[in-house]
Amino acid sequence: MTPVNFYIYISLALFPITDIFVISMDISENHENLKHELKEKLKCVSSRQDLEKIKLEYIGKKGILNQLFSKMTDLAANERKDFGARLNVLKNEIETIINDFSNNFSQPNTSEYDELYNSLPGKKPEIGHTHIITQAIREIVDIFKPLGFTRVRYPEVDWEYFAFEALNMPEDHPARDDWETFFVDLPFDKKMGRVVLTPHTSNGQVREMLKGKLPIRMLNISRCGRRQIDISHGPTFFQFEGLVVDKNINTTHLKGVLNYFAKNFFGPDRKIRLRPYDFRFTEPSFEVDIDCGMCHGKGCKLCKGGWHELGGAGMVHPNVLKAGGIDPEKYSGFAFGWGVERTYMMKSGTKIDDIRHIFANDLRFLEQF
Ligand code: PHE
């Protein structure tokens, strides 16, 4: 019997039983009993979850130890100190027993983790995709390929000569104003002129002819620049330029190729029409329209009387063939040049109401395609 228990024993014999004595006695006996009981319970613990339950039972907020601490208020002031000190010792001992035991679980057991977290949603890896303009360019290339067209690229920063002079637009010709050109601040060359951001892909026409290989079936797709910005124009955009030069090429070939492209790109129920136009580098020249995907040529809010303008086309002007070193008496050709963005926007079901969205790099927009 410990001295404390002995004291309680004597007290009980000599004095009437009071609450204080009962509690004091409880503590002394419970001290060893509690630890024994805890050790017995731990023998049956085989998982972290079981251990957590035991921790809560003993040292949790509403656990056994806190319940004992709360009894302190029932004690007389002189008893509290001793009672509290002994409870603190008990608490430390219980914590040590539990901590020592929990070392058995220091390595998390994966199957238990699975059990605990299998309802957590997984992390979805972000997957990127090509930009819509890249998608459109690839689609355009694939459509022209079976007809024998090869994709090429020519400088996006080029001499004025290839953008204008070689295309039958001499210096100071008013037609040049239609290509609102960015001039680059670089030295002027007597023959080639100033350096420009190519305002159209037609700069590739004479460059292709100067390669000296005939016949020609060129598809030049490049970035262009013009001083323009509004809902349907951007200062930078892409064009695709077709050029065919061979013997006996005429307008029916041009119309056939454009129809083939339109049906493949826009859908078999769509059709094109040619309107007379004026370009200095083609004769005759045309503007090419596609029937509206909403009203099919009848006329609606979205179109100009049932049609949308696609771009320019025509039979290569003899002066352009000459600039490319080709004899216009022996060879003829056709060319066409359209904006990639605009063409893509006219695809059925593409609801892009402002061309500038395409280059704003807003993922909320781009992820839709
Ligand atoms: N280059 C012209 C433009 O930018 C389009 C065009 C190309 C027209 C080829 C005729 C032939 O508008």
Q: Is the CB of 313 under 6 A from ligand 1?
A: yes
How many angstroms does the Cα of residue 309 sit away from the middle of ligand 1? Answer: 13
Give 40 Cα–ligand 1 centroid separation in angstroms: 91
Whose Cα sits closest to atom 8 in ligand 1?
A: 312
Residue 115, pLDDT > 90, answer: no
Share of the chain above pLDDT 70, in %: 88
Ligand 1 nearest atom to the CA of residue 200, by list position: 4
Q: Give 30 Cα–ligand 1 centroid separation in angstroms.
A: 98
Rounded distance between C-alpha atoms, residue 201 and residue 312, angstroms:
12
Least confident span in 2-11, 52-61, 242-251, 349-358: 2-11
Q: Is 337 in the pocket of ligand 1 (CB under 6 A)?
A: yes
The model's pLDDT over 34-47, given as tens digits with 9 standing for 90+, comes to 889 999 998 888 88
CA 139 to centroid of ligand 1, rounded, Å: 20
φ and ψ at residue 238, rounded to 5 degrees: -110, 145
CB 137 within 8 A of CB 358: no
Q: Which two tokens stand for residue 335?
A: 């060319």
Question: Would you say the CB of residue 204 lies under 6 angstroms from ligand 1?
Answer: no
Q: Is 80 exceeded by the pLDDT of residue 20?
A: no
* pLDDT score of 6: 42
The answer to whether the CB of 334 is under 6 A from ligand 1 is no
Pairing of strands 272-279, 282-291: antiparallel
Distance (Å) from CA 282 to ligand 1 centroid: 9
Token pair 């490319």: residue: 324
Cβ 200 under 6 angstroms from ligand 1: yes
Indicate yes or no: pTM above 0.85. no
pLDDT digits (tens, 9 = 90+) for 330-342: 999 999 999 999 8
| Model confidence at 132: pLDDT above 90 | yes
Token readout for 72 is 């302190």
The protein residue with its alpha carbon nearest to ligand 1, atom 4, reads 200
Q: For atom 12 of ligand 1, which residue has the closest CA?
A: 312
Is the pLDDT assigned to residue 320 strictly greater than 50?
Answer: yes
Give the number of the atom of ligand 1 that is nearest the alpha carbon of residue 337: 7
Section 265-278 average pLDDT = 94
Identify the bridge partners of residue 203 per DSSP, sorted by sequence position. Answer: none
Give the domains, in start order, of the chain with CATH numbers: 7-119 (no CATH), 132-366 (3.30.930.10)
Is the shortest distance between the CB of 339 and ligand 1 below 6 Å?
no
Q: Which residue type does 240 have?
A: F
Closest ligand 1 atom, residue 336 Cα: 9
Average pLDDT of span 132-153: 97
pLDDT of residue 237: 95
